[in-house]
Amino acid sequence: MSVQTIGAVSAKLLDLHRELIEVERLAYERVHGRLSPAELLDNLIHHPQFAWLRPLSTLIAEADVAAEADDPEERDAWLAAVRALLTPDPEGADFQRRYAERLQESPGVVVAHAAVLGVLGR
């Protein structure tokens, strides 16, 4: 796939990531009270409730490296990793399980998920 495709997928992943963070933030705040932006960032990094989002954060961080790769197979490998991670599976790894739950609970996550798949050509 092309560098432009990676850029487009990365942009949609950021939208999805924001939506997932918002869903988790709201769930956290229902129990613990309102978070400031600094507290949210700290929780994203350290709190176990947000830890499941780290594989997606990592893929987003790796997008630029994949886009700059000279070898098309490296770009394809990154795109394959995105597809694999965004395959919801109630019996899968932590991310896939929680992602499947969020897709059932949040229309915003569904829309963002569909946008990523649309750019991936799935």
Provide the pLDDT for residue 70.
85
Whether the full predicted model's pTM is greater than 0.95, yes or no, is: no
What total number of domains does the chain contain? Answer: 1
3-class secondary-structure state, position 69: coil
Provide the pLDDT for residue 31.
95
What CA–CA distances, in Å, run from 75 to 7, 24, 41, 81, 121? Answer: 11, 30, 29, 10, 15
Beta carbons within 8 Å of 8's beta carbon, 6+ residues apart: 119
Interaxial angle between packed helices 3-32 and 107-120, expressed in degrees from 0 to 180 and rounded to the nearest 10: 170
Provide the pLDDT for residue 104.
96
- Each of the 122 residues of the chain gets a pLDDT tens digit; together they read 577 889 999 999 999 999 999 999 999 999 999 999 999 999 999 999 999 999 999 999 999 999 888 888 999 999 999 999 999 999 999 999 999 999 999 999 999 999 999 999 86
Residue with tokens 């019996």: 91
Give the domain range for residue 9.
3-120
